[in-house]
Chain A
Amino acid sequence: MLEKILILLCLSSALAEQPCKPDASDGYKVRISIKTALGDEAYVWNENEMFLFRATLAFAMRSHLNGQEFNVSNIIVCDETPRVTFWFVVTSPLNTSGLVDKGVVEEAIRKSRNRINSAFLLTDKTLEFIGITPTLAAPVNPDTPPWLIVFGVVMGAVGAGIIVVLVSPLVLKKCKKNEETDKDEEETRVKAVENGSTREGVYNMSFSDDERLTQM
């Protein structure tokens, strides 16, 4: 008799621990890589850290489902490995034998993902919930693409340079002209003596400087 009672007790206690098992339909697997994230400043994963995890998860459930008061006891953990992976299931505070639906748990975790990560100084990559893909960060879209700004600067500089190069000889010419009109009046008397410009006539090749022709 006593033995039967003992067996029944063992069975019932075993059954009571059933909710959390690997590949549970309403559970999630967690993988934590502390050393990868923190390197030398890595902390050791122990019972206290596990308690913090359960408390954080309870916090996440509370934030999502406003009415219900989740406690650390509602988060059941099992199958811990040296890798630091484990499975967890969430029991409802209203009905201790019933598990909270997988979808609800996922939503709760997604909402508070950042808080959960920060509690452990980890990131989406080093604190993984297998099955819950992290939402990708939305790209930062500035109003003016930065490349247009650089393009504007370069084009502006080049355009200004072209205008300067094109206009500067004209400006110089104008200055010279102003100087020349002053000098012209003096030179008209001297110029009258010269008889014609140097542009008339044909250049006489026989007196050119070309050495080859005169080498004898």
Chain B
Amino acid sequence: MTMDKQVMDRDAESAEQTHVDGLKEVTERPKWDNKVQYLLTCIGFAVGLGNVWRFPYLCQVYGGGAFLIPYLIALVFEGLPLLHMELAIGQRLRMGSVGVWNSISPYMGGLGVASMAVSFLVGLFYNMILAWILWYFFHSFQSPLPWRDCPLNLNHTGYVSECEKSSAVNYFWYRETLNVTPNIATSGSLQWWLVLCLATAWCLVYICFIRGIETIGKAIYITATFPYLVLTIFLVRALTLSGATDGLIYLFTPNWETLKNPEVWLDAATQIFFSLSLAFGGLIAFSSYNAQKNNCERDALIVGCVNSFTSIYASIPIFAILGFKANENYNACRNWNILRLTNAFNIADENITLENYGDWLNYFNTTDPSEVDNLNLKTCDLQTFLDQSASGTGLAFIVFTEAVINMPGSQVWAVLFFVMLFSLGLSSMFGNLEGVLTPLLDLHMVPSWMPKEIFTGLICLSSFTVALIFTLGSGNYWLEIFNSYVGSMPLLIIAFFEIISVVYIYGINRFNDDIEWMSGRRPNFYWQVTWRFISPFMLLVVFVAYVVVEAEKEPTYNAWNPDYVNFPLADVQPYPEWVYVICVLLSVLPVVSIPIVAIYKFTGFLKKYITNRHSQNPYANDL
């Protein structure tokens, strides 16, 4: 019964605290207008850029349809249990991440701080990606699209050499957008156009985020649903393009051999984990604004399944369009060969076609093989072009933009595509910022004279100022660092401690009681097994494997160096010492709060214990 008493005391304490603050919290905790807003916000947070540009790439690289198996296994045994847990504790304890973990155990308060730190850092670079998307969106209103042609050099006799050697899309991305420096040590200066785009991105985020979930809830109706509309339009269009079926077959043909490679399982687990945006504290914040009597189990299942469905649904038009692009490149390659043959042997124009090319080539090989050799005909293989896949910014800004040039009505498709990417990213940004705002509000770090609007404005302004690093010439390299070191390992650590705290420190039985009280049903056998054993074990294995794999890799990065010998291939450079130190700091600093807070609270406890033993006051009753 002492456990119940502790619960009552703790509840009383928290309630009293809130009441002493002037009846504000109990009556005024904001809440969702309706269930749909809440679900859409969680779905919007989970469904982000990764669903569009990371999952299709993984699917393609790891043997198409076969990848779905480790992916779905990871979803069932890792994703859904963690998701359900986060939504449940947020809803029950009605506080942001810092408050929740403080309530569960004062020693685990560091978890909340860690989540908040990671959310802030990820929000910094994520909005930079949105700024890049805005830049491309602004440029999609021109005819012809600016990334179609290389610019002319100074005396108009030819094209700029950097552009000629690589390609117009690459030049537009690396030179006209990023103006990237040859290595990370060269910082370059602030690129004013990127600063403008970043400011626009932060203003757009601010206007949706200005009053917390009140304004987010309104904006989410559009930002969460619009991507699905665009994906459907793209799906219909893409399936009518020639070569689309090649891309789809290539994507989905299962290659069962890849399942033997442990890296596939590791990537599936990490993909599910990062895709559901777990451990950011954003989901806890969102569910804390719910009514307590709400079926969080069903919510978790809905969010998890919609997220995976979106990934699969998005990969269809993406790969149809990539197949179209590969087909275009393949035909261009063969047409080049045909032209060479036609000109060399003076055949009448267009007598050699794609169909009879083979016959003509054989004929010439028999009659005049030396001449054919001199021509240096290219070997055109559709497979090679299909293999030219990319993920991340490479997919969106290089591969896809190239494909869009060849589609009729390219401006429309470019605009639609970039608006879709922007809304996907914007709804994820809401989660990141809520993961920062809600704990700060709950900790009462906001002075009472400051209205919420000013506070959110200050958060956006400070994020914008720090994120100006990414607008430097070397900004892209820094963004990659943040992406790899902040947005990966700390999250795994936080999630592992989260589930251990809930299951073994808070107590799984108590947690089951809470959920039964909230949703009316005790969690069934599947949840029990996954929470207690399978998910923590999987997280531990994934974390260890991830560290091992990363440690084996040399810390290098791909630099864009026009003076490189093998340009346009990437110049693979190692990180300088000081950069490597920063990388390690970025991984360690967010999670260092977990042990620090635990130790701090423990020393406080020890002090109290020792002073109480010395004072031995029989009337002191606050132990």
* Residues in chain A within 8 A of chain B (CB atoms): 31-36, 81-85, 133, 135-136, 138-139, 146-148, 150-151, 154-155, 158-159, 161-162, 165-166, 199, 202-203, 205, 208, 210-213
Of B134-142, B265-273, B552-560, the stretch lying at the interface with chain A is B134-142
Please, which residues of chain A bring their CB within 8 A of the CB of B158? 136
- B210: which of A154, A165, A203, A213 is its contact (CB, 8 Å)? A165
- Of A83, A202, A205, the contact of B346 (CB 8 Å cutoff): A83
Q: Does B551 contact A (CB under 8 A)?
A: no
A212 with B203: CB separation less than 8 A: no
Q: Collect the chain B residues with CB atoms within 8 Å of residue A35's CB.
A: 349-350
CB-nearest residue of chain B relative to A33?
B349
Inter-chain contacts of A31 with B (CB < 8 A): 343
- Report B16-38 CB contacts with A as 1/0, cut-off 8 Å: 10010011000000000000000
* Chain B: minimal CB distance from A198 (Å): 8
Chain A residues with Cβ below 8 Å from B343 are 31, 83, 85
Across the interface, do B204 and A82 meet the contact criterion of CB distance under 8 Å? no
Q: Return 9 A-B CB contacts under 8 Å, by A number.
A: A135-B156, A138-B156, A139-B149, A146-B142, A147-B135, A162-B210, A203-B19, A205-B16, A212-B517
The answer to whether A165 touches B156 (Cβ under 8 A) is no
Closest to A150 in B: B138
- Please indicate which of the listed interface residues A135, A161, A202 has the most CB atoms of chain B within 10 Å of its own CB: A161
Closest chain A residue to B206, Cβ basis: A162
The answer, among B134, B138, B199, B348, for a CB contact under 8 Å with A83, is B348
B200 part of interface (Cβ distance < 8 Å): yes
Q: Are A165 and B207 in contact (CB under 8 A)?
A: yes
**Complex alpha-carbon distance, A24 and B547, angstroms:** 70
Q: Which residues of B contact A136 (CB under 8 A)?
A: 152, 156-159
B384 to chain A, nearest CB (A): 26
- By a CB distance below 8 angstroms, the chain B residues around A133 are 157
Whether the Cβ atoms of A82 and B200 lie closer than 8 Å is no
B200 touches A203 (CB 8 A): no
Are B346 and A85 touching (Cβ within 8 A)? yes
Check A199–B215 contact: CB distance below 8 A.
Answer: no
Q: Determine the chain B residues whose CB is within 8 A of the CB of A85 once the complex forms.
A: 343, 346
What string of 1s and 0s marks CB contacts (under 8 Å) between B131-157 and chain A? 000110111011000000101100011
B207–A162 contact, CB under 8 A? yes
Cross-chain contact A151 with B23 (CB below 8 angstroms): no
CB contacts under 8 Å to A, within B164-210, are: 196-197, 199-200, 203-204, 206-207, 210
Segment of B7-15, B82-90, B369-377 in the binding face = B7-15
Contact with A along B222-238 (1 / 0, CB 8 A): 00000000000000000
Instruction: Scan B291-331; emit 1 where CB is below 8 A from any A CB, else 0.
Output: 00000000000000000000000000000000000000000
- Do B200 and A154 touch across chains, with their CB atoms under 8 A apart? yes
A34 contacts across to B, CB distance below 8 A: 349
**B141/A158 in contact, CB under 8 A:** no
A32 to B346, alpha carbons, bound, how many Å?
11
- Given A161-B207, A213-B8, A82 contacting B138 (CB threshold 8 A): no
Shortest B597–chain A CB gap in Å is: 28
Q: Which residues of B contact A150 (CB under 8 A)?
A: 137-138, 141
A135 to B155, CA, bound (A): 11
User: Which residues on the A side are within 8 Å of B11 (C-beta)?
Assistant: 210, 213
Chain B residues, CB < 8 A from A213:
8, 11
Q: How far is the CA of A203 from the CA of B7 in the complex (A)?
A: 19
* Distance from A31 Cβ to chain B, minimum over Cβ atoms (Å): 7
Contact of B139 among A82, A147, A202 (CB under 8 A): A147
Considering only CB atoms, which chain A residue lies closest to B158 in the complex? Answer: A136
| Shortest beta-carbon contacts, A-B, top 10 | A83-B346, A81-B346, A147-B138, A35-B350, A35-B349, A150-B138, A82-B348, A33-B349, A203-B19, A158-B203
Q: Across the two chains, which residue of chain B brings its CB closest to A161?
A: B207
Task: Find the residue from B8, B141, B207, B211 having the highest chain A CB count within 10 A.
Answer: B207
Q: Is B584 located at the chain interface by the 8 A CB criterion?
A: no
- Give the residues in chain B near A166, CB-CB below 8 Å: 210, 453
Tell whether, in the assembled complex, residue B349 and residue A155 are in contact, meaning their CB atoms are under 8 Å apart: no
A132–B141 Cα distance when bound, in Å, is 35
How far is the CB of A68 from the nearest CB of chain B, in Å?
A: 29
A31 to B142, CA, bound (A): 34
B156 touches A151 (CB 8 A): no
Known contacts A147-B138, A213-B8; A36 and B350 CB within 8 A of each other: yes
State the Cβ distance, B486 to closest chain A Cβ, in Å.
Answer: 28
Q: How far is the CA of A158 from the CA of B210 in the complex (A)?
A: 12
The CA of A134 and the CA of B196, in the complex, are separated in Å by: 39
Cβ of B570 within 8 Å of any chain A Cβ, yes or no, is no
When distances are taken between beta carbons in the complex, the residues of chain A under 8 Å from B200 are 151, 154-155, 158
Question: Quick one: which of B12, B23, B349 has the most chain A CB within 10 A?
Answer: B349
The chain B residue sitting closest to A34, CB to CB, is B349
Chain B residues with Cβ under 8 A from A83's Cβ?
342-343, 346-349
Tell which of B149, B157, B196, B350 touches A151, judged by Cβ atoms closer than 8 Å: B196
Report whether A84 and B210 are in contact in the complex, using a CB–CB cutoff of 8 Å: no
Q: Are A165 and B349 in contact (CB under 8 A)?
A: no
Residue among A139, A155, A158 making CB contact with B152, cutoff 8 Å = A139
